[in-house]
Structures are given as structure tokens and as C-alpha cells.
Amino acid sequence: MNTTREYINIHKLIKASNSKLLKRLPNFVIYLIKLIIRENEINRILSDYADYEGVEFLTKIIDELNIKIEIDGIENLPENGKCFFVANHPFGFVDGIILTKTVGSKYGDFRAIGNEVFKFIPHIKANVAAVNVFGTNSREYIIELEKLFASNMPITHFPAGLVSRIKGRNIEDRDWQKAFINKSIEYQRDIVPFFFYGGNSSLFYLIYIVRKALGIKATIELVLLPYEIFNKKNKIIKVKIGKPISYQTFDKSKNHFEWAQYVKEQVYNLKN
């Protein structure tokens, strides 16, 4: 029987965070958060599959959660994997697992542009180009990232940077960041759009709405993202893949920010 390793420790993460609000949370609230997100279960799963990496690990996680994936448009994945594979971001983790597994299974390898939280999951550390979204990245890191863009490696990316929130009556990403357009043009990478149907739990959006109403800037609803992984257990996740968008599309008729919103629009059009 595998010994459970402590990959995630919410108490330590909260106390080490830069958020004054989180640091003021009493211990009983932190304990409640640990129960809600099922910290022990996460650590058990990561320990059980400690010997697996990359696509194999992602496949094991999907099997563990008994998630059924229905993909429409798989034939739209090009034979040449030197592309950006971009998607809306309604779930937080499960959409990332499915996106990277789909791309990795097709091309044998991949790199994902993600944030530093993935450094806690060594099983996919080699596949993630972790960006410090809340601060600056070192010059050495930027150089390595440019080498990745110049390579033939398939790259997955969520250009919104943050998980989708409630917008009117819909669940939608915020404006997409323009960096992937810049690099698409510079390194001649076509863009393959993915659309994920669905969203997170009502609790996730309720906390977001209440936080906004109270004027709280700290994105406390993100604490629930590990819980949202288990919320997808035994469910069907539907995905649609669109036809590649050539990097030559991005001419001077729009600026790069406007082209990023154009690609976002093409992604959301896939649901229809």
C-alpha cells in the first residue's frame, strides 16, 4: 500500500500567501476549507499515481474520477503539432487535464502554459511552462520560454489566464490576453480552438457574486477549484474542436488585443 505524501497543504499555503484576508482566517475556517476541497483525497490520488508522468498520469486521473469525455471535431487536430491549442476556461483544472491529454495523446508530447500552482504536481512538472501570473519572471525563464515558442512542440494555453466567471446569465472568460497572438505571428504557429461545455458548481459562482458585492478584491472563490475537480466525478464532459486558424489571419486590420478577442469569439461560436 502506497504511503500518502503531502503534496498539498492548504494551511501552509494560506499562511504563506500575500493575501492579508487569507492570513487572517482562523484555523477552524482553514480546517473547513481543507474538508471542502478534500485535501486528503487529493494527496491520496497524487500518491497513488506517483510513478506516472505526463499523458499517462493525466489518463489515470481521468480514470480515477470516472470522467467520460465526448469530443466533437477530433479530426480538426492538424498533423503538424506546431500550434497553440487554446480554450475557454470554465473549470479550472479538469479542462486543463482534458486539453493537455487530448493534445499529448495526438502528438506524443506537449507543453502547457500554466501558473505556478502546478509546481505542486511533479507528475506533470516536465510538461508545464509555469508562469508567475502575479509577478515578474526571470530573464532566464523568458529565454527558455522563447525557445519553447520557436520549437515544434505543441503548446496548450488558456488565454483568459483566469477561470470563467458569471457574466450576465452566462459563464464566460474575461478578455483574452494578447500574448499568444504575438507569438503566433512571430513563430508562425497556427491556433487550434477548443470549446468546453459546462461550468463549476453554484457555490463557486455564489462566492464570486458575494465577494464582488462586498468589494473584496481577493479572489477567494479560487480556493474551491480543487473541490471542483471532484464535482466533475462520474460526469460527461463535452468538448468541441474547431478548425485551425492560420497565423496569417492576424494582419494589421486589427491590433493584437482585438485579434485575441476575435479568437475568443471563434471559440465561443463552437458551442452553436
Which pLDDT belongs to residue 55?
A: 93
Could you tell me the pTM of the whole model? 0.90
d(Cα 225, Cα 202) in Å, to the nearest integer? 12
Q: 109: closest CA among 72, 62, 56, 149?
A: 56
| pLDDT mean across residues, the chain | 90
Q: Of the given ranges (88-102, 159-173, 212-226, 233-247), which has the lowest mean pLDDT?
A: 212-226
d(Cα 167, Cα 165) in Å, to the nearest integer? 6
Answer yes or no: is pLDDT of 193 > 70.
Answer: yes
3-state SS assignment for residue 49:
coil
Q: 110: closest CA among 71, 162, 161, 148?
A: 148
Which pLDDT belongs to residue 83?
A: 98
Answer yes or no: is pLDDT of 61 > 80.
Answer: yes
Q: Give 107-137 pLDDT, tens digit per residue.
A: 999 999 977 667 678 899 889 886 654 455 5
Answer yes or no: is pLDDT of 36 > 90.
Answer: no
Provide mean pLDDT across the span 99-110. 96
Query: Domain boundaries in the chain?
Result: 1-48, 64-269
